[in-house]
Amino acid sequence: MGNAGSSGSPSLPPPRPHLHGVPPLYYHQYPVGRPGAAAPPPVPFPTHVERHRAVAVSAGVNVKGHTLRLERDDDGGHLLAFSYDADAPGSITVYFFAQEGDDCILKGTKENLLKPVTVTFKEGHGQEFRQPSGTGIKLSMFEESELTKVGEDRVFPLAFKVEVGVSSNQESETEHDAEDTKSLVKFAVFVKKDSAEYGINIVQQILWVNGTRYVLQEIYGIGDRNRADRNVNEDDSGKECVVCLTEPRDTTVLPCRHMCLCRECAQTLRFQTNKCPMCRQPVESLLEIKVDSMPRHHQGGDQ
């Protein structure tokens, strides 16, 4: 027997209790209408939480994204530059108007004008890369649409590959065994700024490890959790669920990719709101990620 006035459909679970009895800002509420008024439409929410187990994979190199930039060359061209950390010696190869082939082989589609250039590096943190003078791109030679968009057949205006563990005397990509190297590839477009200068926007990242291709997607919040896990003496703040402030966060909101919820709160929250508690963007799905930790000497820098 149901309660009087019920429609026969199961009722939604009550909201999760909160400190001092005050619901958080993201809790979905409708204004109270007059008696007998039609009920508001239900809040759309993900029907389930996907669960995946992930393994931390070290790239062996950490390219610091906020340092990616173009620098002017003496001949009027633009050179790629950035800061990076490397756990082993290797090489950096820069391509313009590049396509990805099989087995992490990149090819420039305008090599008659812009040849790929490779620079080797040693192991060490806090290193600086600057493309050699005379090997840059003169942006004025190309249409803006060629520079700022991914072209047909997945031609990227800019790409660079960082290989770790490559001997300095290797000249061809096909001469080394993929089992002995790790390759981090970043594909980018140029972004025109107000000052008529151009910046760089990474649109895709690929990591090749032991012959396996990984497509990298940044998850906001997972880095804070991993740093705290690596040092148990650090303050644990920043890795807890933003709702209960107790359990470790392990669930990511999609498509905004904020890892900000624990499993239990994610189950409850999906019945209460369709907005991410961090950025308020609509929630399309929830992804629970269990990360298998690796020995400390296998872990690389934050990507």
pLDDT of res. 4: 44
Q: At CB < 8 A and 24+ separation, what contacts does 146-151 make?
A: 146/97, 147/189, 147/190, 147/192, 147/198, 148/189, 148/190, 148/191, 148/192, 149/189, 150/187, 150/189, 150/203, 151/97
Which two structure tokens, joined as six digits, stand for 295? 């020995």
The pLDDT mean for the chain works out to 76
Give 77: exposed, middle or buried? Use CB within 10 Å, 0-12, 13-18, 19+.
buried
Span 168-222, pLDDT tens digits = 444 444 444 444 678 999 999 999 887 778 999 999 999 998 888 888 877 777 6
Residue range 251-261: average pLDDT?
Answer: 88
Q: Which of 7-21, 36-50, 77-91, 128-142 has the lowest mean pLDDT?
A: 7-21
pLDDT at 17: 47
Pairing of strands 49-55, 285-292: parallel
First to last CA, the chain: 56
Q: Is the pTM of this model over 0.85?
A: no
Share of the chain above pLDDT 90, in %: 41
Instruction: Please choose, from the candidates 74, 97, 79, the residue with its C-alpha nearest in 3D space to the C-alpha of residue 136.
Output: 79
What is the rounded distance in angstroms from the CA atom of residue 205 to the CA atom of residue 258? 19
Helix (H, G, I), strand (E, B) or coil at 44: coil
Confidence category of residue 1, pLDDT binned at 50, 70, 90: very low
Q: Which of 44-53, 88-97, 223-232 has the highest mean pLDDT?
A: 88-97
Helix (H, G, I), strand (E, B) or coil at 191: strand
